[in-house]
Structure 1
Amino acid sequence: MTETALPVAVIGGGPVGLAAAAHLRSRGLPVKVYEAGTSVGTNIRDWGHVRVFTPWRYCVDPAATKLLERQGWRLPSADVFPTGSDIVANYLEPLAATPELAEVVETGARVTAISRQGLDKVVNRGREQRPFVLLVKTAEGVRRELAKAVIDASGTWANPNPLGASGLPATGEAEFVDRIAYGIPEVLGRDRALYAGKATLVVGAGHSAANALLDLVRLAKTDPATRAIWATRSTNLVRIYGGGDADQLPARGELGAETRNLVESGQVPLLSGFAITSIQEVEGRIVVGGETAEGPRTIGPVDRIIAATGQRPDLLLTRELRLDLDPWLESTRALGPLIDPNEHSCGSVPPHGHRELTHLEPGFFTVGIKSYGRAPTFLLLTGYEQVRSIAAALAGDRAAADNVQLVLPETGVCTTTFSVEGAEGVGCCGGPAPKAADACCLADSVAKGEGNIGCGCGVAA
């Protein structure tokens, strides 16, 4: 097979990965999608109980929608706010089943490494002329496949930050992993038995932590033996408490006010400025040790821990590629200054496309939430525009590739994930119903280990 006949390899069958495939197919380019899970949208299924905070019309990609509509698909009620499970069942699964994508999407196929055929990352000569080689692990074993370009949309959901405040696992963390939930457990649903009547430590200063605390308090109303304790590394909780009634995003202000009330009313003990260093077992339960400004402290004994500490990109996958990464965000170096959370919120990130996402390894692109590394400012519609630009560039349409246009809402760091009954009329981050410029916000404060997903239409896109 000649290099021109080789497919573009897309790693990840989430919203942005499938959108990349849709854009590539619409331009007549061969593509192969590798999804590690047993079905598309595997990572989203993990938080399928969470209702997103943007309506259906902002949760779909234009090129993907065109493929679906050819099969008679119709967008669910445009103003309804879907759950993660709704997005998988009513969008991702039908999209993967379209004739254009059904033949190119492989599930149960985990890409474990990427390199250049016959060359490691040290060799210069002839590098750009060599195709990429991917190691693909399936139930049948490991095989090698070639690609003319690679789009990594594998996300970060499966690579959570550790509890250790230094960015390293706390002593004992691996030993007690069966008592730690990383992400968003379904406290009031499938995971109820794990938390009912138990004491749970919630770690993190993002709104995912607040969501877990509120669910635990709700659970305690039916099982009074249920207790929640809250620990944060940060001492400044303004970001989570918000401005209350003065918050420009009313639902975010409501969440902040509810969380503050849990602490001030004494329903949830809070230890802020607590840097976790160790986890140990004492008489069958766990005690968490750490440092504060006043010296060493312990929390416990508790029965379980919810680690709302965010995620980070897995860089082992691309170890044999020449990547140019921002030194602290782990995004592409060119993208780093545009998304630095010290300077930008979700809505102030400038539009960007193939040029900002290009690495020193020509033909390799990281997209979706993984493209932002540890920055918390990713928006789902940003990912759709990323892959539109890249597909145009790979097709040789540089005018379309360079014409990156995206207007995003200026809402600060979009971070709300809490459940809302009768959520219609709620917009990105729980605010008013979005206008045409609004977008699905995906990431909470994943940077610096404070938070999980936020309002949006998918995770690890």
Structure 2
Amino acid sequence: MSALDNLPVAVIGAGPVGLAAAARLHERGLPFVVLEAGHAAGAAVREWGHVRLFSPWRYNIDPAARLILDEAGWIAPDPQALPTGAELVDDYLQPLAQSPQLKPHLRYGARVEAISRLGLDRLRSAGRDTTPFLIRLATGDELLARAVIDASGTWRTPNVLGASGLPARGEADVAAYLEHALPDVLGTDRERFAGRHTLVVGAGHSAANTLLVLADLATQQPGTQVSWAIRADAPTRTYGGGSADALPARGALGSRLREHVDAGRIRLLTGVSVHTLTPADGRVAVVVRRADGTEETVLADRVVAATGFRPDHSITAELRLDLDPTMGATRALAPLIDPNEHSCGTVPPHGVDELTHPEPGYHAVGAKSYGRAPTFLMATGYEQVRSVVAALAGDWAAARDVQLDLPETGVCNSNPVDPAAGDGCCGSTPSVEPPARGLATGISGGLLGTPLNLVALDAVPADAQAGGCCAS
């Protein structure tokens, strides 16, 4: 018997993908513990609870989790309805976390500070695959594990405003004027935006969400102004596939944004990057620079940094990770998700083989597995953990039978063309050949600034909502 056999698999994070991993471990009869930094399941999701997903419930429920809930007599939501983040937590994640199959294995307030091997640093090779993982918590507590499934996500590590990957000049000095992605503009955060000028920076779905609710606020509150800055020369990616999108709510998100820009309700600055931020008499002066070196100063009251997220690999500094230098994902996965390469929102299905590092037994899953790629979907994470857990159970046939069917976006991630011009979807073909397995489609079109694809509460027309459109 191995020294690892009686140890649990440690799952980091009790969000949708972390709890799906727990459900799969229960299904396989493997001991596990879930370590959640927050004080309840779905703590990060709760922070954007006011936002409605553009995927219906049928894409947001893991099959193994569904079995656990059904056993308890759970009343499933309408599979075609679009949940908000709060509804995702209240109607799905919390009941799942409270189930007798999972509840005894969840630890809250358990922020992971570091992961290593018991008695081994990164330099030691001998016996590494048979030595337990040592997991140190911020409280100072330590525990041992046979394997680690890291579903900690990227919500706590947003990208900076500066276009070079570094903070813009003065960014730290104007922190009081900056907003995290997806502020509750029409709710708890309303006073910070009403009657003021807000600059939104970013070209993903989180930027689109915020712009739409700000435009709505401008119709309710005189003096509310909205500006939008993007690095691209045109907002084609953000506008998305429109009616060509298999998820109507996702298509409607871009279509409504286009209407506001065309009508002048949102001022659009294209081909610019944030260069300098300076406090200016209770406001912030934002200098944006174009490729030709010309500059423009935007005087704003609030700046929303909807610039995406990046993974924090600091907790695994003593593990042997092989990270792609561009994406920050595994080298096998990176070319399949690189937004510079793949097109039309298509990504091959992937599982344990693409998620494996040189460190045996460690797998990053969910949004964190995608590194800086902005295209992650919840359903992708569910298939990832199904494959990884099957491998941990020794069922390699199941682990490698990776399948994923996601709705197409109707827009490219490389060289997009404007669907409104009638030019079709793609302006280029993928430069990376996908594996022979079936093709997964619908990995969020355009640049995504959130770990899940979202649509603002008021961003979907009533007819689209009734039709049950959407994907996380």
- TM-score, length-scaled by structure 1: 0.87
Question: Partner letter of residue 387 of structure 1?
Answer: V
Within 2, Cα distance between the matches of 1:228 and 1:74?
Answer: 42
2:447 match:
445
Equivalent pair of 2:244/2:410 in contact (CA under 8 Å): no
Q: Which amino acid aligns with 1:117?
A: L
1:49: which partner in 2? 50
- How many Å separate the matches in 1 of 2:103 and 2:3? 24
Structure 1 CA distance for aligned equivalents of residues 29 and 168 of structure 2:
49
**Partner residue of 1:295?**
293
Question: Deviation at 1:264?
Answer: 3.3
For 1:215 and 1:336, how far apart are their aligned partners in 2? 34
Q: Which residue of 2 aligns with 1:22?
A: 23
Change (3 A) 1:81 1:9: same
Distance verdict in 2 for CA 1:86–1:409, change over 3 Å = same
Mean CA deviation greater in 95-104 or 221-230? 221-230
Q: Percent of aligned positions with the same letter in both sequences?
A: 54
* CA deviation profile, 1:167-188 (whole Å, cap 9, x unmatched): 1111221222222112101111
Corresponding residue for residue 421 of structure 2 = none
Distance 1:442 1:142 in 2: 39
Aligned equivalent of 2:303: 305
Residue 458 of structure 2 is matched in structure 1 by none
Corresponding residue number in structure 1 for 2:123 = 122
Partner in structure 1 of residue 73 of structure 2: 72
Q: Comparing 15-24 with 265-274, which one deviates more in the overlay?
A: 265-274
Q: Deviations over 1:206-239 (max 9, x none)?
A: 2322222221121122211111111112213211
Identify the residue that residue 453 of structure 2 maps to in structure 1. 454
1:369 and 2:367 correspond: yes
CA contact (8 A) 2:389 2:399 kept: yes
The partner residue of 1:220 within 197, 218, 221 is: 218
Name the SS for the 2:140 alignment partner: strand
Secondary structure in structure 2 of the residue aligned to 1:26: helix
Aligned pairs, how many? 432
For structure 2, the 5+ residue unaligned runs are 414-438, 456-469
The alpha-carbon deviation at position 302 of structure 1 amounts to 1.2
Classify the secondary structure of the residue corresponding to 2:50: coil
In the other structure, the counterpart of 1:100 is 101
Counterparts of residues 182-201 of structure 1 (less than 5 Å): 182-201=180-199
Q: Please give the alpha-carbon distance, in whole angstroms, between the structure 2 residues aligned to 1:34 and 1:144.
A: 12
- The answer to whether the 8 Å contact 1:278/1:289 transfers is yes
Asked if the contact 2:185–2:193 (Cα under 8 Å) also holds between the matched residues in 1, the reply is yes
Match for 1:145 among 143, 146, 160?
143
Q: CA RMSD in A?
A: 2.5
Contact 2:237 2:445 in 1 (8 A): no
- Distance, in Å, in 2 between the alignment partners of 1:19 and 1:455 is 20
CA distance in 1, matches of 2:18, 2:188: 28
Confirm whether residue 206 of structure 1 aligns to residue 204 of structure 2: yes
Match of 2:61 in 1: 60
In structure 2, the CA distance between the partners of 1:100 and 1:159, relative to structure 1 (3 Å rule), is: same
1:319 aligned onto 2:325? no
Match of 2:430 in 1: none
Cα distance change on mapping 1:458 and 1:158 into 2, 3 Å: farther
The residue number in structure 2 matching 1:421 is none
Secondary structure, aligned partner of 1:324: coil
SS in 1 for 2:73: coil
AA aligned to 2:70 is E
- Distance in 2, matches of 1:239 and 1:439, equals 17
Q: Which moved more, 1:402-411 or 1:450-459?
A: 450-459
**Shift of the alpha carbon at 1:405?**
2.1
Matches of 1:287 and 1:171 in 2, distance apart?
Answer: 12
Q: 1:234 aligns with which of 225, 232, 235?
A: 232
Does structure 2 conserve the Cα–Cα contact (< 8 Å) formed by 1:58 and 1:440? no
Where does residue 429 of structure 1 map in the other structure? none
Q: 1:260 aligns with which of 258, 261, 275?
A: 258
Compute the TM-score of the two structures, normalised by the length of structure 2. Answer: 0.85
Whether the 8 Å CA contact 2:336–2:347 is kept in 1: the answer is yes
Structure 2 counterpart of 1:305, which letter? V
Q: Partner letter of residue 203 of structure 2?
A: A
Provide the C-alpha distance between the structure 1 equivalents of 2:272 and 2:55, rounded to a whole number of angstroms.
Answer: 34
Alignment check: 8 A CA contact 1:196 1:226 kept: yes
Is the 1:34–1:106 contact (alpha carbons within 8 Å) kept by the matching residues of 2?
A: yes
Partners of 2:197 and 2:69 in 1: CA distance? 46
Give a deviation string over 1:15-63, Cα, whole Å, max 9, x none: 1100101111111111010011111101111111111122222211111
Against the structure 1 CA distance between its residues 262 and 57, is the aligned structure 2 distance closer, same or farther, given a 3 Å change threshold? closer
Give the aligned residue type for 1:12.
G
For residues 395 and 136 of structure 2, what CA distance do their matches in structure 1 show? 30
**5+ long unaligned stretches in structure 1:** 416-436
- Counterpart CA distance in 2 for 1:21 and 1:257 is 38
Q: CA deviation at 1:79?
A: 2.0
Helix, strand or coil at the partner of 2:67 = helix
